[in-house]
Amino acid sequence: MVDRRRWWRLLVEIAGQASAASVVTPDSADRAAPGTLAAPARRRPAGRGRPGGGRAAGRLPRLPGPALVIATLMMLIIGGLVFERLTGTAILPSVISAGIKPPPDRFPVMAASQPVGISIRALRLDAPVHEVGLADDGAIAAPSAERAQEAGWYNQSPTPGQYGPAVLVGHVDTQTGPAVFHDLSDLRSGEKIEVSRADGSIAVFEVNSISRYDKTRLPVDQLYEDFSRPGLRVITCGGRWVGGQVGYADNIVVFASLVTARDG
């Protein structure tokens, strides 16, 4: 049977997601390092309706029944999934789109060990990984411009292979050319990401989904708060270039799940 409470929560989430953290690439003219993971923003209170726009006093209108609501939601979800598949632009909450290819039922869990490298065969990518923390403004620090060909592991997230989402961030480009995650949006569901760890082991992740979000609408709970299994989030910039402290308007986010572990 359909869980009605789940569908009502989904309706609320579709109606409006809160502003959230993002990876920001400032304009190079600002002399600031591109690629910053900003702190979540507070939800702004909804504006009031137009004066005189209220309904006349009397009987309250009847709300649609649960069956009608569910049917309408299903139509919206199907239409949204088709749109995302054709355009590559995420318009649905990641709780839906990330579930297009469900994560594997079985998975290992690894002891803590800092990542030192990332390899994505499908992109011919093989790059070092170094530790990043928080910047002075409270945002997650991204790799410096001098290390644009490296990925940064946020040291307050789990290490790859532990329970929870390990977070890797990196630049899409620089003033002189492509950076480490330039081709990240070309990844496809089912492809593998291998993360080398300091203890000599390799955590192998399988891509579940690739989404593009406006930087003000990243789903914080899905990115940083899913501790149901060992996962990986790989984040870079994308979309339209707007310059200033924003850089690119969107973020490309890869959602992946741990499928196996092996010795290096």
- Output the CA–CA distances (angstroms, integers) from residue 197 to 19, 34, 113, 160, 229, in the order listed: 33, 26, 6, 8, 18
The top-level CATH class assigned to 107-263 is mainly beta
pLDDT digits (tens, 9 = 90+) for 215-247: 888 888 888 889 999 999 999 999 888 887 778
Task: Kindly state the percentage of the chain with pLDDT values over 70.
Answer: 60
Residue 200 has pLDDT above 60, yes or no: yes
Q: Are strands 151-154 and 164-169 parallel, antiparallel or unpaired?
A: antiparallel
pLDDT digits (tens, 9 = 90+) for 78-119: 676 656 555 545 555 544 554 455 666 678 899 999 999 999
- Output the CA–CA distances (angstroms, integers) from residue 243 to 28, 146, 166, 199, 212, in the order listed: 8, 20, 29, 40, 18
* Residue ranges per structural domain of the chain: 107-263
Report pTM.
0.64
- pLDDT category at 124 given cuts 50, 70, 90 is very high
